[in-house]
Amino acid sequence: MAARLPDLRIIAAKKATVMAKEQGHGSRTVAPIPLNAGAWQLQQSIEKFSRTLAGVLTLQYGHLPAESLLKAVAQRAPALMQRRDAASIHTLASIASRRLDRQLEPPQSRILIGQCPYCGDDVWSSEDDLAAGWQPCNCGQTINIPSVQEQRIFKLAISDAQGTAAALSKLLKSCGITVRRQTISEWKRRGIINSVSTQDGKPVFLLWDVWAAVTR
């Protein structure tokens, strides 16, 4: 997993014009969200997992990147395997590794819509799955696609993700949700949603407001 993390960073670093409020030094600043939200969220998840494992092993990791932490943790794998929660750690590591493999080599003609609420694995949906609204996961559970999509949108929206109609349309499409730019603009004209600011003279909307309009 450590060896493949740099490739994931490259994918996740591709920026869109969707912005998010970010807490820093006591102020709220605006930072870009990568268009490939799935890669970005997976990168964050792996980084958090590596820090958690380093903390469990009482490693002094400071500002070391996740790649270094994962390598250090791997060298101390016997100590982890003696813990009571060793099975859970192994399961989480396996899921993260499998998710990383799929990000670097995504299934053909499928879209990453979010994570399974039962096992945490990524859910890659075909057009037929999206139309049906349900699909089976490898863990054996049947997944409600709109619920999974909503959870993914919520994870982005809690940071006040916002963007122009065109940018949010692209972001939603990457989650398997089709909302035309013109539709978002029409919702503003009809008063269904309101803009929160402007970017290059174009109105900017909150992602959650647009999602609320989609599901109203």
95-118 per-position pLDDT tens digit: 999 999 999 998 888 999 999 999
Domains in the chain: boundaries:
1-21+33-105
Is 24 strand, coil or helix?
Answer: strand
Amino acid at 29: T
Mean pLDDT along residues 132-143? 95
Distance CA 108, CA 141 (A): 22
Cβ-Cβ contacts under 8 Å for 87 (sequence gap 6 or more): none
- Beta bridge partners, 23, equal 28
Distance CA 115, CA 124 (A): 9
Distance CA 40, CA 168 (A): 16
Tokens 């999206």 appear where?
130
Choice between 197 and 23, residue whose per-residue pLDDT is larger = 197
Distance CA 199, CA 81 (A): 51
What is the predicted pLDDT for the residue at 28? Answer: 53
Choice between 90 and 61, residue whose per-residue pLDDT is larger = 90
- Global pTM value: 0.75
Tens of pLDDT, residues 8-59: 988 888 877 788 876 555 445 677 877 788 888 899 999 999 999 999 899 8
Tens of pLDDT, residues 58-81: 988 778 899 999 999 999 999 999
Cβ neighbours, 10 Å, residue 214: 18
What is the predicted pLDDT for the residue at 26? Answer: 47
Question: Across all residues in the chain, what is the average pLDDT?
Answer: 89
Structure tokens given for 124: 């890659």
What is the predicted pLDDT for the residue at 29? Answer: 63
Distance CA 40, CA 34 (A): 7
Cβ atoms of residues 176 and 37 within 8 Å:
no
